[in-house]
């Protein structure tokens, strides 16, 4: 039985999927998130309602362990990665939360197939899982792993630079975080990004490793003529404005 992807129905929340690595068919969650309504964290982790749907972001084959947003597709080299010792060891790491292992499995495939920045993002997502499960040491290690992956890839864009600063701060790597923030400030970024960087530098100076949202970095919308003119609500408006700047 197949479920058309374009069914448009919110009732179907799982469907049969054939793994592109091993051919096993399994029921997999379908991910149809609504747009985030709350502002994202400083590392751009989306606000609710999308924030709470991480268990549905990736599919994972129960047979071979391959994990991806869509396991019916795979890089030509994915099968070799999935069969290799590092991937098998990662899946067998009983001390790590299963959902985090799923993100790390996807990160492993991405890294081994050369997509270092995407691997960094998936590794940061594993850290978010650890945050939610109150496992700060795992979150710290995976944030530092994510930063290493970002830095191992091509030149970073503005959004990635912001994420590196926040990941380093939250991993208590304050000196490195402040250097990265200073470098970002030196690129003379747009005002909204500059405000995020300024908040990061205040948090770094205060030794604050906590979660903060981009909304706390920006002044109220009434004092921000661009957002006010567009008639945005405060929460998503701030984020949409910031996002436009990042995408430019």
Q: Binding residues for Zn ion, per CB under 5 A?
A: 19, 21-22, 24, 61, 63-64, 66
Instruction: Give whichever of 104 and 168 is closer to Zn ion, judged by the CB atom.
Output: 104
Radius of gyration of the chain (CA): 19
- Shortest CB 45 distance to Zn ion, Å: 28
d(CA 194, CA 225): 17
- Shortest CB 109 distance to Zn ion, Å: 12
Instruction: Give whichever of 18 and 226 is closer to Zn ion, judged by the CB atom.
Output: 18
Element (H, E) at 200: helix 191-205
- Shortest CB 28 distance to Zn ion, Å: 11
The interaxial angle of helices 136-152 and 116-132, nearest 10 deg, is: 170
- Shortest CB 111 distance to Zn ion, Å: 19
Instruction: Give whichever of 103 and 239 is closer to Zn ion, judged by the CB atom.
Output: 103
Instruction: Give whichever of 98 and 219 is closer to Zn ion, judged by the CB atom.
Output: 98
- 10: exposed, middle or buried (Cβ count in 10 Å: 0-12, 13-18, 19+): exposed
d(CA 230, CA 65): 46
Instruction: Give whichever of 59 and 195 is closer to Zn ion, judged by the CB atom.
Output: 59
- Shortest CB 51 distance to Zn ion, Å: 28
Token pair listed for 63: 């047979």
Answer whether 82's CB lies under 8 Å from 19's CB: no
Q: Which residue has the tokens 């890089």?
A: 75
Contacts of residue 248, defined as CB under 8 A and 6 or more positions apart, other chains included, come to 190
Instruction: Give whichever of 109 and 197 is closer to Zn ion, judged by the CB atom.
Output: 109
> What is the 8-class DSSP label of residue 33?
P
- Shortest CB 63 distance to Zn ion, Å: 4
């Amino acid at each position: 039985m197949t479920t058309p992807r374009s069914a448009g129905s919110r009732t179907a929340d799982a469907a049969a999927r054939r793994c592109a690595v091993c051919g096993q068919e399994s029921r997999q969650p379908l991910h149809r998130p609504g747009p985030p309504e709350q502002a994202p964290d400083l590392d751009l982790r989306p606000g609710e309602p999308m924030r709470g749907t991480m268990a549905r972001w990736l599919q994972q084959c129960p047979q071979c362990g391959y994990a991806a947003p869509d396991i019916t597709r795979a890089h030509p080299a994915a099968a070799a990665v999935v069969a290799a010792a590092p991937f098998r060891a990662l899946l067998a790491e009983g001390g790590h939360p299963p959902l985090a292992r799923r993100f790390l499995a996807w990160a492993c495939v991405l890294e081994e197939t050369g997509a270092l920045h995407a691997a960094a993002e998936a590794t940061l997502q594993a850290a978010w899982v650890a945050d939610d499960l109150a496992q700060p040491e795992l979150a710290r290690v995976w944030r530092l792993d994510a930063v290493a992956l970002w830095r191992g890839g091509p030149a970073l864009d503005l959004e990635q630079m912001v994420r590196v600063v926040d990941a380093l701060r939250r991993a208590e790597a304050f000196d490195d975080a402040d250097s990265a923030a200073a470098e970002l400030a030196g690129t003379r970024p747009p005002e909204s990004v500059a405000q995020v960087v300024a908040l990061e530098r205040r948090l770094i100076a205060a030794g604050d490793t906590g979660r903060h949202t981009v909304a706390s970095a920006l002044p109220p919308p009434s004092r921000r003529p661009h957002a006010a003119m567009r008639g945005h609500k405060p929460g998503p408006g701030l984020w949409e404005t910031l996002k436009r700047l990042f995408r430019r």
